[in-house]
Structure 1
């Protein structure tokens, strides 16, 4: 996400509290592999082992930089860009037949050419916000919009192999947008069984890790999230747990108190949704270590698999 704009307001990190100070209540919110990570943190792991497996989370909450030779070059020659995706361990072909998944790749790569259009205000229920933003980028210029589309394409391949019908809110096939209200409407009109909005954050250097954003309870104007709060939390917890397990990434060290889960009531894409929906910030593009992961085709494949497996788990119930 970009620093400011619709659905992309800057996060406010908690002061004076380390993510390691986890509580039993926080741990209880997070299933599966993420719970295992939280428990490991809570019992006092410290330091980063030089012998850690590639992509594993350190006990300090930071992520390790890949050491398996994964390239950070975004060239299509990257093997992960051309090889068939690795099937998931629990995949069953056709198991999602009849299910509709909407993938919302954050931002549009052409937004920067249409600043007037994306700066116009739209109603998100609680207030008015800009239609969209350009998104953020790494210090070397790899854009969030390019990242989100790449991950979305990989997810579509994986989910369609499971029999799901997959729809995008945009595929770089329009001059700008869609606006945040239209993004929500696309999922609603598709009667989606699950919607996931893909992003990467633009926080300060040293702020690392992923987090999943859940809708809070909002009933104001055009927004009424009451019916989707509970199923969206279930979806978000499953995505977070599988993301940890597949990518080895640690939950954010700057929001979410180490749980990898954040609830917000100011995001139009969530406020206006009538179907289960979450956002995922896959890492911080402005941190050099996270950027090394985000620009790796091999790691993006793991990202796609981790998110997809969470969706599959949610849809299977």
Structure 2
């Protein structure tokens, strides 16, 4: 179906999203830089009564950044080095409802473009967009470790940061003909160290806002093979969600094994749109 036909469940708040597009478009970020032609407007001389006292170091307060004081954790799925460490990433870890591998290598396009490269690229773009809005951004990995982290550690990183939102960036590896994106939400899970009761509702709102903005910005449609056309899927078997104590979702940005989706995922301009769609969803959620 056409992108404009996608309407995710309406979040409780209907405030218009605060757009996190400055890092993409090069728009000015402060009032001083928003004059005509990109130049600051000329100021008229201050009157004697408006001048600060002699010797005063007082300065005009800086405008408050839209996401100032907020912490966002971005979790780039997998790691380019995972393929060289099969023993380490194959080790079993507790995900609350059972045990799963520490991590996997992820998927790749038919031409060999790895999911781990895709997720790092989109995550770095996403970080730049959110930082331009004033957020503190933490990446669970930045290509700076030989493998991993394991899925349980990925959850702990978000918990330790007391993140206001966590997004795990992925791309799917399904069959040819299966197209579109979907956002994975945590189910209610309780067992071992897992207990998602408190994060299920806020995570759903975060996921709905990301899904809506992602569709709008990228022009992509919700998955035609998962989620019944909603762009949303709820799961209880992912340690990164089960062990989270803060609002968290996964996004599968497309199917790397489908040639049409792969053509988008490998395009730099589309990856920037993907990052912007996720950023605007996060910003909308945090500013609700």
Helix, strand or coil at the partner of 2:25: coil
TM normalised by structure 2 equals: 0.81
Work out the number of aligned pairs and report it: 244
1:278 Cα offset (Å)? 0.1
1:56-205, aligned counterparts within 5 Å? 85-86=24-25, 94-205=65-176
Structure 1 ranges of 4+ moved more than 2 A: 26-32, 90-93
Alignment root-mean-square deviation, CA: 2.3
Which residue does the alignment assign to 2:9?
Answer: 29
Which residue does the alignment assign to 2:177?
Answer: 206
1:93 Cα offset (Å)? 7.1
Q: Could you tell me which of 307, 310, 313 is aligned with 2:278?
A: 307
2:8/2:212 contact within 8 Å kept = no
2:8/2:208 contact within 8 Å kept = no
When residues 239 and 93 of structure 1 are mapped into structure 2, their CA distance, relative to the original with a 3 A threshold, is farther
1:228/1:276 contact within 8 Å kept = yes
TM normalised by structure 1 equals: 0.73
2:90/2:104 contact within 8 Å kept = yes
Q: Distance in 1 between matches of 2:273 and 2:89?
A: 31
Q: Distance in 2 between matches of 1:302 and 1:255?
A: 22
1:110 Cα offset (Å)? 0.3
Which residue does the alignment assign to 2:42?
Answer: none
1:263-302, aligned counterparts within 5 Å? 263-302=234-273
When residues 111 and 237 of structure 1 are mapped into structure 2, their CA distance, relative to the original with a 3 A threshold, is same
Give the gaps of 5 or more residues in structure 2. 13-22, 31-62
* Larger Cα-atom Rg: 2
1:43-54, aligned counterparts within 5 Å? none
1:27 Cα offset (Å)? 6.0
Q: Distance in 2 between matches of 1:105 and 1:234?
A: 21
Q: Distance in 2 between matches of 1:194 and 1:87?
A: 25
When residues 93 and 143 of structure 1 are mapped into structure 2, their CA distance, relative to the original with a 3 A threshold, is farther
